[in-house]
Chains A and B, each alone.
Chain A
Amino acid sequence: MNIENLLTRDSFIERGARSRAQALLDPGTFRELAGPFARLHSPWLAMQKLVTQADDGVVVAKGMLAGRRTVVLAIEGAFQGGSMGEIGAAKIAGALELAARDNERGIPTQAVIVFETGGVRLQEANLGLAGIAEIQSAIVDLRRHRPVIGVSAGTVGCYGGMSIAAGLCSYFVMTREARLGLNGPQVIEQEAGVAEFDARQRSLIWGLTGGAQRTATHLADACVDDDTAAIRATVIDLFARGVPATHRSDRAGDFLACLGRVDTTRQATAQDVRDLYSKGLA
């Protein structure tokens, strides 16, 4: 992207969760459910002397996308690192379950989840984990009817239990700036040592977990520029493909076989990982 494009493009990364949901849906169709004035604050953060946000960092929006009924679930990465607590997770899971029910009643409804999350909210512990498990089951249920598309634009990326939710999506869209991983770089360094993973090495982090790498290694389906129109167009194209014959998560065996061939005697480079995955998954 040259300088002129950088100045004129409409960044998706710079938008907040609500603005992202508005931008994805067809103009004038955005309708927020369980929004900030429902005041579904986290009951647990205040007990720990943390200021709550009135929507618990999750925007649930219903509307149309290229004329199809769509629900957008956008996580606000700037509030508590986009962490999933009891309320925010219940909002996502509940919306996905209602979308599945609509499909069962003959009203086709599809879902987009905008992942900007470090995973479970540690302050809410098991309630957050249970919520993430509900989101995962709801994705698997809904994707039988219509695709569930995940988007991670950055700069938080998608980590922890929510990276598993991302892996369950029918399609996953990333920007070059986004990252996708189970454990974050600092967690790996803390648990396994700096020799295993140096969390200050940005090129290593993005080389292994960034959007370009994840797309090259079949863990994401498209790596798109940070441009709102481009991201929206990609999501529309993927919905037009319909439910994939084989979901990524159905190929867990192929991915495990790739991991089985990793040479653990030395640090893997980004190219090593691409070679490994292109052999097993092409």
Chain B
Amino acid sequence: MESLEYEFAAGQPAPGRTVSGVVSSGDLEVLLEPAAAGRTTVAVQTSVDGYGGTWKALLERVFGAGTLPAARIEINDNGATPGVVRMRIEQAYEQVNNGAKP
């Protein structure tokens, strides 16, 4: 198991908090909460060691533009592929934008 932390530029605070996904095999859980404007932090717990570079590249693709709402994001990963990770993060943003409550 490995813990990783990343930081990205961001827009205005996210409009709410939400959770997407489940920590099942090949899946992950994304917890998204509003953060102060301008900065998003991502804390990852993953069951698979040695993929820090892949996480960095993937998260840069998602957050690199610095335009997504600012959030404190916690990821609990049980061996999800990059595609699944990206979809779970996008699902979380879609849920907060639609006003979903966890």
Complex alpha-carbon distance, A74 and B78, angstroms: 21
Interface size (B, Cβ < 8 Å)? Answer: 19
Say how far B99's CB is from chain A's closest CB, in angstroms: 13
A36 in the interface (beta carbon within 8 A): yes
Q: Which of B22, B31, B74, B78 contacts A16 (CB 8 A)?
A: B22
User: Considering the chains assembled together, what is the distance between the CA atoms of A146 and B27 in angstroms?
Assistant: 38
Is there an interface contact between A53 and B76, defined as CB atoms closer than 8 Å?
yes
> Contact between B102 and A53 (Cβ–Cβ < 8 Å)?
no
A:68-88 near B, CB below 8 Å = 76, 78-80
**Do B31 and A37 touch (CB < 8 A)?**
yes
Q: How large is the interface on A (under 10, 10 to 19, 20 to 34, 35 or more residues)?
A: 10 to 19
Contacts of B76 in A (CB 8 A): 51-54
| Interface of A (DSSP majority class) | loop
**Contacts known (A78-B24, A79-B22); A51 close to B78, Cβ less than 8 A:** yes
Mask, A37-54, CB within 8 Å of B = 1, is 100000000100111111
Task: Flag whether A26 is at the interface (Cβ < 8 A).
Answer: no
- Whether A53 contacts B47 in the complex (CB less than 8 A), given A32-B102, A36-B102, A37-B17, comes out as no
Alpha-carbon distance A60/B22, docked complex (angstroms): 16
Residues of B contacting A49 with CB < 8 Å? 1
Task: Check A160 for interface membership: any CB of B closer than 8 A.
Answer: no
| A46 and B102 contacting across the interface, CB-CB below 8 Å | no
B63-87 contacts to A, CB under 8 A, are: 74, 76-78
Given contacts A37-B102, A79-B24, contact A54 B47 (CB under 8 A): no
Taking a contact as CB atoms under 8 Å apart, the answer to whether B77 and A53 are in contact is: no
A54 to B77, CA, bound (A): 12
Contact A51 to B22, CB < 8 A, known contacts A36-B31, A46-B1, A78-B27: no
List the B side residues contacting A80 at CB < 8 Å: 23
Chain A to chain B: the 10 pairs with minimum beta-carbon distance, closest first: A78-B24, A53-B23, A49-B1, A36-B19, A78-B22, A51-B47, A79-B23, A51-B76, A51-B45, A51-B78
CB distance from B95 to the nearest CB of A (A): 11
Interface residues of B (CB under 8 A from A): 1, 17, 19, 22-24, 27, 29, 31, 33, 45-47, 74, 76-78, 101-102
Q: Does A35 contact B (CB under 8 A)?
A: yes
Contact B1 A50 (CB under 8 A): yes
Q: How far is the CB of A270 from chain B (nearest CB, A)?
A: 31
Q: Given A32-B102, A37-B102, A49-B1 in contact, is the A54-B22 Cβ separation under 8 Å?
A: no
CA distance A46 to B78 in the complex (A): 13
- Cα A36 to Cα B77 with chains together (Å): 15
- What distance in Å separates the Cβ of B47 from its nearest Cβ neighbour in chain A? 5
Question: Are B102 and A51 in contact, CB atoms less than 8 angstroms apart?
Answer: no
Kindly report which residue of chain A lies nearest to residue B21, judged by CB atoms: A16
Residues of A close to B33: CB separation below 8 A: 37
Chain B residues whose CB sits within 8 angstroms of the CB of A52 once the complex forms: 23, 45, 76
Give the docked Cα–Cα distance between A49 and B45 (Å). 10
B78 pairs with A54, CB closer than 8 A: no
Whether A54 contacts B24 in the complex (CB less than 8 A), given A36-B102, A37-B17, A46-B1, comes out as no
Closest Cβ of chain B to A73, distance in Å, is: 16
